[in-house]
Amino acid sequence: MAIPFIDLGAQRERIGASIEDGIKKVLAHGAYIMGPEVRTFEANLAQFARSKHALSCANGTDAIELVLLGLGVGKGDAVFVPAFTFVATAEVVPMTGAEPVFVDIDPKTYNMDPVKLEAAIAAVKAEGRLKPAAVIAVDLFGQAADYPAISKITQAYGLFLIADSAQGFGCTIDGKQPLEWAHATSTSFYPAKPLGCYGDGGAVVLNDDALLERLISFRVHGGATPTDAATMNYVHEAKYLNVRIGMNSRLDTIQAAVLIEKLAIFAEEIALRQTVAGRYNEALDGFVSSVPYVKDGYVSTWAQYTIEHENRDGLQVFLREKGIPTAVYYPIPLHQQPGYNMFTSGTGDLGVSEAKAKTVISLPFSPYLTAETQAEIVAAVKAFRA
């Protein structure tokens, strides 16, 4: 039997019946977009995130863009993003008219390096063409960025701080989630994420009432907020008074029904992920260039289990021949991508990102990965080294 890279089937065996019941309820009532399950899920998500509000949307990319739009980020602004992450983090920045500024990463956590961030902000200010406006910190591979250090920098320079927790939703630092430091946290419910649906989906969790109102407007075609309607003496449907240039980014009700059931076991799955990662670390430490490093007090949600190997490409071929799937997150840093290499303002030395892109490789991982299957994967990795 082939080893899955992410075993969604095991989770389905566990809660498939309850998910199907939820979907049947949606089919019965017929409110397929923004139905009652969406409101239930948003309330449950806010409770899990310990946030005042949760706003669902169509995908994780839209979630980041909604926050940028809600914060008023736009033309002439610089938004600082890590050079080593998925393109979605940087992709949304030009959509607002702003420009991404790429920041190098910490070599152990793969997350944004606060020292490099402060240097990039200083470089942009010295150049004078762009105004530093926001930082998007990514919780890569499931571990929270260094929010205590990053937030001190953003506060000192008067910048917004956004947590891109598409891979790390549920991660903590000393028991606190990224929203403790960020203006808002965005996440993705892409099926492969730690908390994923059966299609696309995303959300923003936040505590700011006024920001929430703007996000609601941007989410549905820039429609009128209650404040807009009161000011303009408008009494019809909000979506027919378009105060802003918005988007169409709503979570389907069926996906909300799926997520309600998955969120109910999410905390337990995060705990199971710690066990699986611990087994990998213990077995592979000393047999590869490095195993994942998690800082003291940090809890990762382990979106991926990523090791480094001096012959990464050779290892990937070797494992593929043995029926073991792998993935490379990410083979090309953002500043070297053809669509983004024109964004050079504030860019300093990005050597860590460039080096890691040549050595990282992710192994099969899920909360339901058995010790027996894991031993098979480990044996194959060790066999290649031998």
> Can you spell out the DSSP letters for 301-354?
--S-EEEE-TTHHHHHHHHHHTT---B-S-SS-GGGSTTTTT--TT----HHHH
DSSP letter (8 states) at residue 290: B
Q: Are 8-264 and 267-385 in the same CATH fold?
A: no
| Residue positions annotated with a catalytic role | 193
CA distances (Å), origin 112, targets 7, 109, 149, 352: 29, 8, 10, 11
Amino acid identity, position 371: A
Pairing of strands 172-173, 298-299: antiparallel
Burial of 71 (0-12, 13-18, 19+ CB in 10 A): buried
| pLDDT of 1 | 63
Q: What are phi and psi of 330, to 5 degrees?
A: -140, 140
Kind and range of the H or E run holding 190: none
The whole model's pTM is what?
Answer: 0.96
Q: Report which residue type is found at 341.
A: N
For residue 385, the model assigns a pLDDT of: 77
Give me the torsion for CA of 104, 110, 112, 114, rounded to 10°. -90
Q: What is the DSSP letter of 145?
A: P
Q: How many residues comprise the chain?
A: 386
3-state secondary structure of 55: strand
pLDDT score recorded for residue 347: 84
Domain boundaries, the chain: 8-264, 267-385
* Token pair of 177 as six digits: 């989630």
Q: Encode 152-180: b = buried (16+ Cβ within 10 Å), e = exposed.
A: ebbeeeebbbbbbbbbbbbbbbeeebbbb
CATH 3.40.640.10 at 8-264, yes or no: yes
pLDDT < 70 regions, the chain: 1, 386
Fold of 267-385: Aspartate Aminotransferase, domain 1 (3.90.1150)
